């Protein structure tokens, strides 16, 4: 997004501020579409940034929903049930009943355990509807089920007359930086699907695969292989085509779509020198911004300065950028070479994924930043005004 638009948003809505670029995320989705030539479907993991859910529901085949809060967001946005892919490591029966009342046989559901499968089956039997269920294969973590368990469940599928085993769900982690990792996983899945065909007499219709494509955030960090580069996406597509198993593939992503579409805007509100070090204090802080891999501000994210006005007397220095929290850990960047004056806007780029809520939002009872979306056609769309949090942190007797 042009700095002039960021400056306008900060003037209109105040700081700290999250600003999300709808045109950017539309472009990112189209790049995936172009790279895969319609051979691979797209799912958006809304936990990445729930404020983009409505837009992404218009852009991709599915929205992955991992909690009751996320489901209620989708319900309140009137997202069609057929768009919902109900995931999440824990499904409580009462919550699942509420979800099923909306999703019924139009949504898709993962089964993280035999218990979850049984709950889905009980509802389907009681309502005479067939549910599309995707058993989740574990990556040796707490998620999903072992191969043996999934094989047994599918081999005995006659016990679940109203369950359609529509595919297998697999996700093994985020920030994967090498295609070799995906190649190894796809080969493992290929072998597992062959086992299901042999032992359970079952041909897997679809693979829902969480790719976890990495995003590089920092200026001074070793440049990792960008798996979202068209050439690498073409190689990934070839790996899928090289599988012995032939079926539908849908890839599930969040960060890979959203990271670049967001920025976090703060204001330089105090400037000083401590022990010869240039210190800039901004509104906001680490409770409102998170970069995967950042360690106490040691890495420099992509940042910009928007001058408050051209006549301001700004100082060129290696600035330490610090937030407003009463903790020495509130370091946004230890060394940022720039000319800064009081009132300047300090912009942190690539904050479209997770930053909006992964921080310690309620620490010190600071306000929640405003959230604004922007598209060239739509202009600025206020999604949330600044909100006080002290009312959430109070006990009256």
Q: What angle do CA 197, 198, 199 make, to 5 degrees?
A: 100
**69 has pLDDT over 60:** yes
Buried b (16+ CB within 10 A) or exposed e, 48-64: bbbbbbbbbbebbebbb
> Quick check: is 6 in a domain?
no
Same domain for 97 and 240, yes or no, is yes
Residue-level pLDDT at 225: 54
Which CATH number does the domain housing residue 186 bear?
3.20.20.10
Domain end point (choices 233, 253, 273):
253
Residue-level pLDDT at 339: 95
**Cβ atoms 302, 260 nearer than 8 A:** no
Structural domain boundaries, residue 308: 261-392
Phi, psi of 327 (to 5 degrees): -150, 140
List the one residue out of 252, 215, 260 whose CA is nearest residue 24.
260
Residue-level pLDDT at 224: 52
Give the model's confidence band at 2: pLDDT under 50 very low, under 70 low, under 90 confident, else very high.
very high
Domain end point (choices 228, 253, 278):
253
The rounded distance, in Å, linking the Cα atoms of 130 and 154 is 15
Same domain for 123 and 208, yes or no, is yes
The tokens describing 255, both together, are 């960060």
Same domain for 359 and 237, yes or no, is no
> Quick check: is 87 in a domain?
yes
The rounded distance, in Å, linking the Cα atoms of 363 and 90 is 27
The whole model's pTM is what? 0.93
Same domain for 111 and 205, yes or no, is yes
Lowest-pLDDT range of 172-176, 231-235, 355-359? 355-359
> Quick check: is 143 in a domain?
yes
The rounded distance, in Å, linking the Cα atoms of 65 and 72 is 10
Total domains present in the chain: 2
Same domain for 319 and 184, yes or no, is no
The tokens describing 97, both together, are 């009943």
Residue-level pLDDT at 392: 82
Share of the chain above pLDDT 70, in %: 98
**173 has pLDDT over 80:** yes
Q: What angle do CA 390, 396, 397 make, to 5 degrees?
A: 165
> Quick check: is 25 in a domain?
no
Phi, psi of 80 (to 5 degrees): -60, 145
Query: What pLDDT, in 10s, does the model give residues 71-114?
Result: 999 999 999 999 999 999 899 999 999 999 999 999 999 999 99
Same domain for 272 and 354, yes or no, is yes
Phi, psi of 373 (to 5 degrees): -100, 155
């Amino acid at each position: 997004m042009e700095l002039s638009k960021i400056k306008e948003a900060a003037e209109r809505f105040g700081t700290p501020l999250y600003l999300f670029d709808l045109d950017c995320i539309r472009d990112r989705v189209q790049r995936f579409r172009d790279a895969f030539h319609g051979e691979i479907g797209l799912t958006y993991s809304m936990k990445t940034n729930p404020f983009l859910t409505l837009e992404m529901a218009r852009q991709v085949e599915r929205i992955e929903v991992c909690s009751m809060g996320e489901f209620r967001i989708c319900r309140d946005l009137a997202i069609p049930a057929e768009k919902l892919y109900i995931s999440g490591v824990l499904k409580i029966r009462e919550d699942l009943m509420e979800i099923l009342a909306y999703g019924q046989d139009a949504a898709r559901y993962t089964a993280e355990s035999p218990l979850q499968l049984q709950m889905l089956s009980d509802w389907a039997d009681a309502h005479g509807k067939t549910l599309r269920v995707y058993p989740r294969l574990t990556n040796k973590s707490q998620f999903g089920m072992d191969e043996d368990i999934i094989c047994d469940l599918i081999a005995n599928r006659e016990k679940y007359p109203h369950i359609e085993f529509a595919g297998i769900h697999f996700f093994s982690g985020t920030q994967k930086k090498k295609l070799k990792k995906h190649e190894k996983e796809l080969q493992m899945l290929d072998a597992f699907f062959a086992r299901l065909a042999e032992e359970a007499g079952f041909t897997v219709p679809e693979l829902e695969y969480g790719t976890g494509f990495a995003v590089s955030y920092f200026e001074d960090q070793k440049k990792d292989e960008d798996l979202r580069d068209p050439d690498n996406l073409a190689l990934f597509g070839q790996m899928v085509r090289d599988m012995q198993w032939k079926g539908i593939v849908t890839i599930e992503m969040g960060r890979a779509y959203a990271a670049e579409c967001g920025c976090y805007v703060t204001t330089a509100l105090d400037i000083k020198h401590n022990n010869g070090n240039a210190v800039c204090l901004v509104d906001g802080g680490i409770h409102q911004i998170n970069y995967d891999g950042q360690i106490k501000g040691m890495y420099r994210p992509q940042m910009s300065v928007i001058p408050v006005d051209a006549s301001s007397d700004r100082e060129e220095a290696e600035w330490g950028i610090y937030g407003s929290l009463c903790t020495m850990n509130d370091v946004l960047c230890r060394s940022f070479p720039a000319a800064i004056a009081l009132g300047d806007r300090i912009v942190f780029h690539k904050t479209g994924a997770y930053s909006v809520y992964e921080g310690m939002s309620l620490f010190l009872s600071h306000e929640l930043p405003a959230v604004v979306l922007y598209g060239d056609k739509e202009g600025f769309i206020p999604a949330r005004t600044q909100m006080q949090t002290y009312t959430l942190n109070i006990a009256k007797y």
